[in-house]
Amino acid sequence: MSRGGPRAHRGRSPRRRRVDAARRAAFDALRAVTAHDGYANLVGPALFAERRLDDRDAAFATELLHGTCRHLGTYDRIIEAAGGRSLSSLQAAIVDVLRLGAHQLLGMRVPSHAAVAATVDLAGAAVGEHTTGLANAITRRIDAHDLDGWLTILSSGLDSRDRLALRTHHPRWIVDALADVLPAEELEAALAANNERPVTALAIRPGLATAAELVGAGATAHPDVPTAAMVTGHPGRFAAVREGRAGVQDPGSQRVALRLAEIEATDGPWLDLCAGPGGKAALLAGLAIDQGTWLLASELQPHRAVLVGQAVRAYAGRHAPLVIAADGTRPAWPDSTFARVMADVPCTGLGALRRRPEARWRRTPDDLDTLVPLQRRLLDSAINAARPGGIVSYVTCSPHRRETVEIVDAVLADRDDVERIGPDVQLWPHRDGTDAMFQALLRRR
């Protein structure tokens, strides 16, 4: 790829601006994220495939979209400082144009002249010719400093925690939440790890594929997780993925599923209480079949239940999993039914910021006031669903204390029919190379 980015067009008439396909696709994807609450990791690939971007342009557009989303709050402060005005005084679409320009200048190896020209052309073509002067002026002011220079300017007068939040591109409240559960010497490393794109991992469907098959097809065996293999490129190049015998899943998610399956428990069917989008359900379904039983996968949202069905579609026969759309807080099954229950509850998702770059700017502490009561109700429901001697796995993709240990402690304090088994597990990107998954195992007395 040239340093000017993919297929840059220059010398165009100001009123007949043409923008290269990669930058235009990145802009449209960013608008879907910022204006319509889309998710970059879902919107981007679908849009880039629809636009038929080649590998070079798709790679450029992906970095432009994800990098902009990851640094969004930082770039917003830089744009305000460079423009001398608040973002609220600007049209939302031109703000997104400026954010993409900031990332090209401060986060990518795009030469200044190319980044400025491309930003002006994008403003004219996508927003309106009347915005090009503003886009040119602010983008040139952004180019007056590199990213370190801007961080130095913006850090003036901040306390140490605010400076760390700015330098690592996180809201202050997330920095505080991680500081509450990590040793001080690990805090910056944990925050920095959230800015690194994870390597794609595949999970086999037990009984239908093996990790050795994936390795033989070009994947790399995971050193710690026997069901996992690491891949580069598009996962669809693997026959096992195309046939539903393997799927994309973070090794941390695989570890908590394997831990639930391996611990001693009574006999009986298994339940995945909040199964969407289906990665854990697919892994648990095969593990259940290996033990001569079957899995019920329940998901509140019907469209997510469809995704679960797609994830487990390759299983057939007497022990094939059953997928239903049901509310886990108002169970569609009798109490004391299941031998093993997975309760991977809705959460802030702070443990998956590597793969959901916009989430750190979208979530707020107020979200916890809604999520925490729901998490408690779901854990209570999961315990009720377990038969005596059964195991409940409480899981969140978050390290936040209110969503993890405090939920488990509160439920245990109110019940005398359940006990903790062993120490809780908290995984971390900077320690384990996984999402920051939390797991507590409980046994129904």
**Among candidate residues 60, 40, 26, 31, the one with its CA nearest the CA of residue 358:** 40
**How far is the C-alpha of 118 from the C-alpha of 20, rounded, in Å?**
8
Burial class (CB in 10 A: 0-12, 13-18, 19+), 52: exposed
Long-range CB contacts for residues 299-303, cutoff 8 Å, separation at least 24: 299/274, 299/275, 299/323, 299/324, 299/325, 299/326, 300/274, 300/276, 300/325, 300/326, 300/327, 300/328, 301/276, 301/325
Among this protein's residues, is 397 annotated catalytic? yes
**Among candidate residues 43, 435, 71, 52, the one with its CA nearest the CA of residue 255:** 435
**How far is the C-alpha of 7 from the C-alpha of 51, rounded, in Å?**
15
Burial class (CB in 10 A: 0-12, 13-18, 19+), 316: exposed
> Residue 322 forms beta bridges with which residues?
296
Provide the pairing of β-strand 270-272 with 338-344: parallel
**How far is the C-alpha of 231 from the C-alpha of 276, rounded, in Å?**
23
**How far is the C-alpha of 29 from the C-alpha of 45, rounded, in Å?**
9
**How far is the C-alpha of 3 from the C-alpha of 1, rounded, in Å?**
6
- Could you please report the per-residue DSSP string of 249-286? --HHHHHHHHHHHHS---SS-EEETT-TT-HHHHHHHH
| C-alpha separations of 277 from 37, 249, 272, 323, 401 in Å | 18, 11, 11, 11, 25
DSSP classification of residue 206: B
Determine the distance from the C-alpha atom of residue 294 to the mean position of all C-alpha atoms in its chain, rounded to a whole number.
29
Q: Which residues are catalytic?
A: 397
